[in-house]
Amino acid sequence: MLASSMVCTTMIRVGCLVVCAAVASGLHADTGALTQLRGSNHSVLILGCSVDRNAVERFCGKVDRFYRVGCYDEERQLNIGFVFHPGVGINGDLQPPFYNRTQWGSNIGQPISDDKVLRKWSSSMVGELFPDMVVVDSSLWDLSTWASWGMRNVTADRLRQWGMRDLRNELARVSEAYNKSRIVFRTAPAVYKTKWVVGDAGQVYKDVAAISNDGIRMMQRELRKHIKGGKLYGKYEVIDYSQIMDDLIQERGADDPSLWLKDGYHPSAEPSRRYLNEIFRLMDLATVEKKVEVDGFRRRWAAAAGDRDEAGDLP
């Protein structure tokens, strides 16, 4: 299934999902889809979590609400937008309950459960009913939802259901709503610190991990079972953020904490840049060159707008 050990020499903790190096070399680029692009603007919509939002914020140089951010990039003639979604939910049917340990509580909508809502978002965020590319994440929120409601670490059984049914359905909903778009799944990056489930009174449950490398590794293992011909379920291209993070860890020779924000699980500027570059490579757009990062993440400025994300908190 995978070109495994030979190609994946950079595999560290989580392990490569698709043929590692091949992703970077563009082997998965579906050039057929690119020829359908309009002569003018490109568009990519990302349905994901704070990991995606952080990357888009950095690229756009702005923040918006926690559930959306986007911009038009003149250099690439690219409309890029992020919209938050809370994952498959406890039962895997895209319905609540979802992880509710954030300042936004439990009243979180799942846009993927409604075609009309999805189309509204793509129109408003990237100006297209059918973006050229739609990138979907479903990982950290799934893990956190299961752990916080089940009060135990993620199990292999739960992940099996996710791989066999929940995620497949979620992606099917996205590809039905955007049946002219290229649908890409992105995997979860490794974390530096385990994020524990926190109780109503603020007590930390040190035996129940909301997000841990063990959980992420199990998730990757489950995904690997569903890779066919380099694609998830034989259908969806994959951006392997796990691999991007593992490559960086190997380059640095250790779990360099600067690869994450202070909370220890949100990837920092460099991994975010590489992640978006994977999107741009797949779309045949110019990548973002390395630049000196300003220390002082812009999100801090958002406090004034009254819609601040707490460091260390999802989404």
Ligand X SMILES: *[C@@H]1O[C@H](CO)[C@@H](O)[C@H](O)[C@H]1NC(C)=O
Contacts to ligand X by CB under 6 A:
40-41, 72, 79, 100, 106, 127, 148-149, 153, 179, 194, 207, 209, 212, 214
Sequence letter at residue 284: D
| Residue among 293, 256, 288 nearest 275 (CA) | 288
Minimal distance in Å, beta carbon 89 to ligand X?
13
Name which of 109 and 127 has its Cβ closer to ligand X: 127
Residue carrying structure tokens 């992020």: 82
- In the complex with ligand X, the residue whose CB is nearer, 139 or 212, is 212
For ligand X, the closer CB: 79 or 110: 79
Residue 85 or 274 having the CB closest to ligand X: 85
Which residues, in sequence order, are bridge partners of residue 185? 136, 238
Give 80 or 282: the residue with its C-beta nearer to ligand X: 80
Minimum Å distance from CB 41 to ligand X? 4
**Cα distance between residue 178 and residue 174, in whole Å:** 6
CB of 295 to ligand X, least distance (A): 30
Closest CA to 125 of 185, 77, 82: 82
Buried b (16+ CB within 10 A) or exposed e, 53-88: bbbbbbbbeebbebbbbbbebeebebbbbbbbbbbb
Kindly tell me which of 5 and 40 has the beta carbon lying closer to ligand X: 40
Q: How far is the CB of 148 from ligand X (least distance, A)?
A: 4
**CB of 93 or CB of 293, closer to ligand X:** 93
On the CB side of 271, CA atoms within 13 Å amount to: 33
CB of residue 304 to ligand X, shortest distance in Å: 26
In the complex with ligand X, the residue whose CB is nearer, 23 or 216, is 216
Q: Write down the least CB distance from residue 181 to ligand X, Å.
A: 10
Q: Mind spelling out the 3-state secondary structure of 226-283?
A: CEECCEECCCEEEECHHHHHHHHHHHHCCCCHHHECCCCCCECHHHHHHHHHHHHHHC
- What dihedral angle (degrees, nearest 10) is formed by the CA atoms of 127, 131, 135, 140? 40
Closest approach, Cβ 230 to ligand X, in A, equals: 23
Which ranges in 104-252 belong to alpha helices (H)?
115-126, 140-150, 156-161, 167-177, 213-225, 241-252
Distance of closest approach, residue 153 Cβ to ligand X, in angstroms: 4
What is the DSSP secondary structure assignment for residue 10, as one 8-state letter?
Answer: T
Residue 251 burial class via C-beta count within 10 angstroms: exposed 0-12, middle 13-18, buried 19 and up: exposed
Choose between 41 and 250: whose C-beta lies nearer to ligand X.
Answer: 41
Closest CB 156 distance from ligand X, rounded Å: 13
**Beta strand pairing status for 204-211 and 195-198?**
antiparallel
Cα 152 to Cα 210: distance, rounded to the nearest angstrom = 9
